[in-house]
Amino acid sequence: MMHQTERRKFFTRLLAGAGAIALAGCDKLSHSETFTKILSTGESLSNNVHRLVSNRVSMAQEFSAADLSPSFRSNGTSSPNNPAYHAMAETGFSNWVLEVGGLVENPLKFTLAQLQQLPNRTQITRHDCVEGWSAIGKWTGPPLQEVLALVKPTPEARFVVFYCADPMKEDGTNYYYESIDMDDAYHAQTILAYKLNDETLPIKNGAPIRLRVERQLGYKQAKYIMKIELVESFAHIEGGKGGFWEDTGYEWYAGI
């Protein structure tokens, strides 16, 4: 019979070995298409249950000025690697135009001044990054529904796609983009913010306008928006998953 300590050593090694094999197995499974498809049923289940337990117009929590973060953190792109963008920034975005088209009856182009003249909304909300941190900021801008009311989406329109000025690859390609559904597009707190904490939106936070979709995570809040398109499906756009991070494996529904 094995000696007590020897037996203990053997079992410890056995356990450590089994653990290492299990871990390597998990990493292998993470690369399997079938397995990750099974895992992603968790996402669709969450999405459906969220719709069940709450109506689509529920409001995100709004905070008081006392809760404001001293400085609003910039994440992802802090200065787009795009000379055309910086040329516009130098003029205070006076020659920037927001193109709104796709499945709409009345495609329009908006200057920053025109957007500012639409009815505006100001809200102090919490920005939750997928990484885990939160920051609280005060945002001002026209609700997206004001813009949609002018361009009149056709009945086929199911998603709103936001095209941004920041390339995500070093070589200046692969521009950031995002998409939301019509429920979120018409939500009262979904705004095109051009002000942060009562000041002109800084470049690090997405000037001239960034999207606020308050019931979803940070990566949905597209910065440096150049163009808005209404589509029936986003399968044909870039990686086909509805957003830059979605194309790399993040959930399209970012309510969790």
Partner 1 sequence: MSVPANSHLKSYFIYRHTIPIRIMHWTNVVCFTILLMSGLNIFNSHTALYFGKSSYNGKPPVLEMKAVPSSNGLQGITTLFGYQFNTTGVLGASAGADGKITRRGFPSWMTIPGPKWLSMARQWHFFFAWLFVINGLCYLSYSLLTKHVQRDLAVSKKERSTIWQSIKDHIRFKHHGGEEAKHYNVLQKIAYLGVIFVLLPLVILMGWAMSPFLNSIFPGWVDLFGGRQSARTIHFIVAWMLVGFVFVHVFQVIITGLWNNLRSMITGQFKIDNAHSDKGPS
Contacting range for partner 1; rule: CB under 8 A; set: 31-39, 115-123, 157-165, 223-231: 31-39
Number of neighbours of residue 136 by Cβ within 10 angstroms: 19
CA distance 80 to 175: 10
Among 61, 94, 154, 200, binds partner 1 (CB under 8 A): 61
Residues 202-231 that bind partner 1 (CB under 8 A): 214-217
CA distance 206 to 225: 8
**Beta carbon of residue 77, minimum distance to partner 1 (angstroms, whole number):** 18
Residue 218 per-residue DSSP state: G
CB 242 within 8 A of CB 179: yes
**Beta carbon of residue 103, minimum distance to partner 1 (angstroms, whole number):** 26
**Beta carbon of residue 165, minimum distance to partner 1 (angstroms, whole number):** 24
Look at strands 195-196 and 199-200 and give their pairing. Answer: antiparallel
Question: Residue 10 interacts with partner 1 (CB under 8 A)?
Answer: no
User: Which x/- pattern, by CB under 8 A, does the window 69-88 give for partner 1?
Assistant: xxxxx---------------
CB 187 within 8 A of CB 57: yes
**165, two tokens:** 């000025």
Among 4, 5, 34, 41, binds partner 1 (CB under 8 A): 41
Residue 102, SS3 per DSSP: strand
CB 98 within 8 A of CB 106: no
Nearer of residues 88 and 217 to partner 1, judged by Cβ:
217
Contact residues toward partner 1 (CB under 8 A) are: 19-20, 23, 26-27, 30, 36, 38-43, 45-46, 50, 53-54, 58-63, 67, 69-73, 126, 128-136, 214-217, 245, 248-251, 254-256
